[in-house]
Structure formats: C-alpha cells, structure tokens
A and B are shown apart, each in its own frame.
Chain A
C-alpha cells in the first residue's frame, strides 16, 4: 500500500539523513522503525507526509506519488495518513474535543471549522473514539489539564478521526513512564487491528517494539540495516544497528515480558 522508492533527504547543512530508502508496507501491517538517535527515523516519517520535503525519490501511497502533488492534492493525501507525535503535540489551549475534531480539518471547510460547527457524524465519531480510549468524560477539559498518557490518547483519537489508511507514529512513548508506554503501544496496535490500518511506529525502545509488532526495520545512518521479524534481532544485529553494547539483558527481558503477556 505504501512504497518508498529511493527516498533521499539531504539537509541544507549537507547532512544526509536518508540514503535512498526502499521500503514497502502492505495493507494492515504494523511495523516498528528502530535505530539510534539521528539515524533518520523522524525524518523518514516526516518525509512520507511531507512535513519535511524529501530531496529525491518517491513516496507511493496506493500508487499515487506524493512527492510531486500540489498543495491541494497534498492536503487530500495527508487526510489518509494519521500522525501521532512524541510530545503529543496537542493544541494545549483548546479543549480535548476540539483537539479530536481538528483531525477532521482536512474534510471540512474553513468557516465550519472556525465556528466549531462540525457535521454531526464527525461529532458522533469523536465521542465514540473518546469513549474507546476511556476519555469521554474529559471531552470539555482543556488539553493542558491532562496527564501525559491521557494526552497521547487524545492524540491517537485525533489521528484516527481522520479515517486514515496509514498511521505515522513518531516516538509515541518517549515522554511516558514504562507502564503507560505499554498501554499506549497496546492501544495503538489494537486499534490498527480493529480498523485494518497499516502503521509505521518509530520507536527507540527495542524491547517495547519486539513486544507489540510483527515486523521491525532497523535504521542506521539513513540506511536500512535490518528488516525482519522481531525474534530475528540477535545481539549481533542490534550491535550493527546501535553499536557495541551488552545486548543480552535487553533480549532476555523481552522473552520474560512475552511470557507475562501470554499469561495475562
């Protein structure tokens, strides 16, 4: 469904963040993107919906190349891709409900959105999504009154109300505690399953990635150095991605966790 063809990004400073990335994501597949800081994970996600303009190469969403769309067509394409951010990126001074409804901005006209008169179907969908993530009673609270985990749930609702085909998830758990991180990861993967969504989850916590996703892509210096099952991530592979470190502990922990998950 999504294909990246020789996607390259060179910043003005001359840093090559992405070096001719080729990647295909079939419909409904959730994949985790791992790699050290500065490997180009964030850049790659942002190149897909062109928050960052790629230097060359193609991004094909259902055989439409996004890289040479005009601004109107790009907005239509962006509606198909929901994005979830590291620091939640909610508009803090708006209410939870407004934040969720802002996911519909690509569908409604300016005055409708300005006067907050969304179609009833959108409002109903927003209520349903908030109920699904357990925040219905918070609908009229201001976003900056929420805790980190709650904010990320609102962020998820905002991405899902776009009715996307693909989720772009940028470090969803980076600012959350371990327990909330797992809850959020579980929620994202569950929702993807319910709705048959594909997702690219950019994550730095290898153990968490292994726990929840069926496919892991490792990025190092803007190149894909691993693409396969989470169980294939041996210490040698991790060393190749991240550099020298004692990886045994990480992997053992994962196995343990999986047992716990299974027991639940």
Chain B
C-alpha cells in the first residue's frame, strides 16, 4: 500500500513512533502537572480535608472558604469561558472524538488552553466535576497540534489525537492498557494496526513517565481475597442493572440542570458561580460533596465507615450537585464523579443486600468496586476500558471478573435506555450521531454539494414542450430543469412524460409534481436516504433561495458513498 518502497516504509514507521512518543510525553507531563496543580489549589483553598483539618481551630475561616471558594471559582470559570473560549463552553472528550473522526477544524489552541484553565479552576475550587474529561481533552490538544505538522503520514491527526488521549489516561490512572483501549473504544472507534501501534507506544510512554520518572503512587489500592460464593455473580449482574438505572437518572438530572440554568439565570457567565454557591451551602452540611472526593472513595471500601442512611444521603447529594455543576457550566468531566457515586452506591448495595437476600457474601469491597465500574462505564460508554481499569488498579483477577459481569449488564441496559454514552448524546445534540456506528456519522459530515455537476439541461418557464423536447434530444438527456427568470427551480420535466405531448403546450403543465431536490447542506448520508425509490438520472441541488446550482447524478451519490466508506475501511484495516 505504501508507495515509494522501503525508504518510505522506514520513514513512516520511524516518524509515527516519534510522533507517538512526543505526543505521549507531552500529554503525560501535562496530565501530571494538571493533577498536581489541582492538588495544590485544593490545599491552598481549604478544599481538601488535609488542609481543612489544619484550620480546625478556625471554624469561621473553614466555613467562609467552603462558601466563597466554589462561588468565586465559579465566577472565574464563567468569565474565562465566556471571554477566552471561542466555543463558549468547556471543551471535553466529545470535541476530541469529533476531531479524530472528522476533518472539520478542531478548537483552536487559545480556546483549548483557556478551557483547560477553566477546568483547573473548577476542580481547584471544589466544584463537583471530574478531572479525566479535561485530561482527555488536554491529550487530544497535543495530538491535534501534532496532527497539523506536515509529516505526510496517513490519518495523522486522528492517530495523534488517540496517542495524546491514551497517554493522558495511562498517566492519570496509572493504567497503560486501559489508556490504550480507551483511545480505541471511545475516540477512534475502530482497531487498526496502524493506529494500534503508535497508540500503544504513547500509552507506554505515559506509563513510563508516571511510574519510572515521577514514581506516582497507585491511584487505588484495595485488598480483596476472592469471590466466595458462585451465586454472588447474580448479585453483581443485578447491581449492574441498578447502576444503569442510576446512570439514566443522572442523565435526566443533567438535562434538567441544563434547562434550569437557561431558565433561571440569563447571563451565561454567572451560572457557574450560582452552582458554586449551592455546592458551598451543601458542603457546610455534607463536606463529602466538595471536589473529587478521594477520601470518600476510599471510605466506601471500608466496612463500618458509613451507615446506610448516610450513604443514601451522600449519593443523592453528589448526584444532584454533579448534575448542577456540569449543567451550570463548570468545566470538568463526569467520569470521576461517576466513579465516586458508583462506589458509594456499590457500598450501599453491599450493605442493603444482607437484608434482602440473607445469604453469606464476600464483603463490601467487591460490591463497591462493581458499582463504581458499572456506573462509570454506563456514563462514558466504555465497558472494556473500565474492566481493564479495575484489573490494572487492583491487580485482582477475582475483582475484575466480578466487575466485568456488573459492567456488561449495566451497559446492556444503558445502551438501550440512554444510548452508548454521555459523549455520544452530546455529539448527537451537535448533529454528529454515532448511534448507528461511525459510517453514518461520518457520511453525515460530508456534503453532497462537493459532487455537483453543471451538465444539466434547463428550460425557461415560458417555453413549450416542443422546444424542450428538441433540446433534450440534442443534449442526449432525459430530464430538464424548469427555471424562472431568476434561476429559481420550478419543476422537473422528463422525456418519457412528453414524448407524445403536443408541441405547443407550455412545458410547466407537464412538470412532475413530486421530485427530489438536494440543498447546500444535504449530507452524503441524507442524499443516499433520499435516493430511495428515485427513478431519474440526476437530482437538482438548490441554494437557500431555491435557485438551481447544478445537479448531482445518481452515479455521483454512489461514488461519494463508495469513496468515503472505502477510506474508512482502509483506515480500519491498515497495517502499520
């Protein structure tokens, strides 16, 4: 497939490796810097428990920080997003997916950096949002930069973006295999060796930087023996189903919060501050809702740390506040809140279970982990990634298999009820629908206008059948487009319909009443759909004012479809 023989192949492999390492290293270092910066802000701003307890003798100060920090943080986020991000919203994994899938222009560097800053302030000031979304976008930003270099590599941008994302996840979770799979499962949506090899290199680079150079501590350490009773797998499956329900509730809350923000607060930049104030007020009562909640995550795996009622309260509060923060415009992801809510729900399930099914079971930890992963995978639509995260974080085969069962049942249900993921829902709202696979979504991004032809026979509305019939015979065509004086399309006339008509009749009388037209925005996918049952030879394409711009022959639609799908298949089946 590569033209130019051995030197070209060597160049391709060498250059792809260099790009993978460079993007992977940049994304990994940026991820470490980002996480440390959030940590630093949390300490300084009295968000983390470690900092709050040291000001324990000044309860007034702690209360003031609890109220003011998220509020002022929200104001800063609102202003940064409003004035510095061109898209006027936080950039997130859906933007990375879009940039990797299509050739449409990605958000600019200024917007990307401003969005990252807004995410940093959001997380630093204790908003209930996650850090992995911004990290994934940060990785994608480096990939996009590398994608712009003139290196003459095929599918350079999408592969470079996948590299950045894989390295960011690999670093953040200390889980290189999960990073690799996430980039394929969520960003690329296909597995080709050409992408697989560099993405693996990038994920490994992230791992090396996180572990060997910086010696980052593992994210999550639990001790777990084994699943003691085989019937517990039924409980795991049931837990997965319940988590899918919880994910559905979360999506509804998100949508509701989005609407509420528009309804109640007109200035967009003021919305995060309002959400911040509410977070602060709730945190005075339930401090667990502040920030990422690393401590709460750990407590959920310890028997005796929470009562059942307490757990239910924190789950509801965290769910509502995360929806509030995301809906009102704090910049951040939903993955870490989903992990936290999931693990709390899992602990809740583990505590309630003995009352419902009074049989022995293997303790709280496994149910907590199952809940965590089932909810998170429903939200981000990445079952394989979440299963691998469990494996890489806990190194426990038993836990992984238990979590696997919960995850697939959760995904089975949530796929039907919600769709593949929150990302896909957000993309669909923006007109990029991946629910039927990437063929449709990508065919939707190409305009059929690109295949326009001006080989067309036109007729003036005042002409007669005789004039038009003769012109069609001369042009060797069977269709004529009837236009008025301004070039507007009034109808189509077919040779078959006028063969035996009297020559003196005005042509407009014999025009077909129903005919297919494309417009400037018709996508290749839509044009395929519209051609069902079409019998003519070409479809007229009109501009916004109804003026004829040209025609698209049936052959051109099929050609467009074949070319685009061929490109996709080639991308998916390429070797390195």
- Note whether A and B form a binding pair: no
Residues of A within 8 A of B (CB): none
Residues of B within 8 A of A (CB): none
